[in-house]
Amino acid sequence: MNKGEQTRIAILEAALAQASEAGFESLTIGSLAERAGMSKSGLFAHFGSREELQVAAIGMAAGRFAEAVFVPALHHPRGLPRLRALFDNWLEWTVRSGLAHGCPMQAAAVEFDDRPGPVHDAVVGHYARLEQSIARAVELAVDEGHLRADLDIGQFVFDLIGIVFAYYHQNRLMHRDSATLRARTAFARLVDAASPAP
């Protein structure tokens, strides 16, 4: 990478850390320039507007998520082993990525759910790809005979995402030590209900 690309990545790293702490709405040219140790004009050279910066930071968050959750899961056999790995990685991804203040994409989903524009579209795009990727993993589990052939895949994906979001709520907001166990129990029940009859 050249110096300009390195600087851009350093800015986005700082933006992602700040978004994890205080949400994407906290990202301003001024606050991020201070955090990154740059001048406002220097930061403007890489991102012409706050909105452009937010969209780029969401793109980096989505990329980090894929690297922490989906890429390692691909090393597991296709079907249920890969789906289990995906779920486990998802619960742990903020820790693995060094985002001590939680999932920035979940924060973005709340911040921009009813605010039309490019940032909203970037968040929707991430979650649409996430749903498609999970659905594909579930389809492979069906193809392998690990899950029922008549499974409602859309409902399974809906329930799985619901478990993870409930986990974040219990873990991050309520600070309940039981959150991980409850999430794993809910996932086990979801899989059992979707498994072929013995």
The predicted model gives 105-115 an average pLDDT of 91
pLDDT tops 80 at residue 100: no
75 φ/ψ angles, rounded to the nearest 5 degrees: -80, -10
Domains for the chain: give ranges and CATH numbers. Answer: 52-194 (1.10.357.10)
| pLDDT exceeds 70 at position 94 | yes
Quote the pTM value. 0.89
Using CA atoms, how far residue 20 sits from 84, 95, 106, 133, in Å, is: 26, 12, 9, 23
Radius of gyration for the chain, computed over Cα atoms and rounded to the nearest angstrom: 19
Tell me how far CA of residue 34 lies from CA of 3, 28, 31, 186, in angstroms.
Answer: 19, 10, 5, 43
The confidence band for 118, taking pLDDT boundaries of 50, 70 and 90, is very high
pLDDT, position 21: 85
Which residue matches tokens 């990478």?
Answer: 1
For residue 177, what pLDDT is reported?
A: 95
- pLDDT(1) > 70: no
pLDDT in tens, 123-180: 999 999 999 999 999 999 999 999 999 999 999 999 999 999 999 999 988 999 999 9
Q: Residue 25: what pLDDT?
A: 86
The shares of helix, strand and coil residues in the chain, as percent rounded to the nearest 5, are: 75, 0, 25
Residue 194, pLDDT > 90, answer: yes
Q: Which token pair is 124?
A: 């929707």
Closest to 58 measured CA to CA, from 129, 6, 123, 121: 123
| Average pLDDT of the segment spanning 117-124 | 95
User: Residue 16: pLDDT band by 50, 70, 90 thresholds?
Assistant: confident
> 32-91 pLDDT, tens per residue?
888 888 888 888 888 888 899 899 999 999 999 999 999 999 999 999 999 999 999 999
Q: pLDDT band at 2, cuts 50/70/90?
A: confident
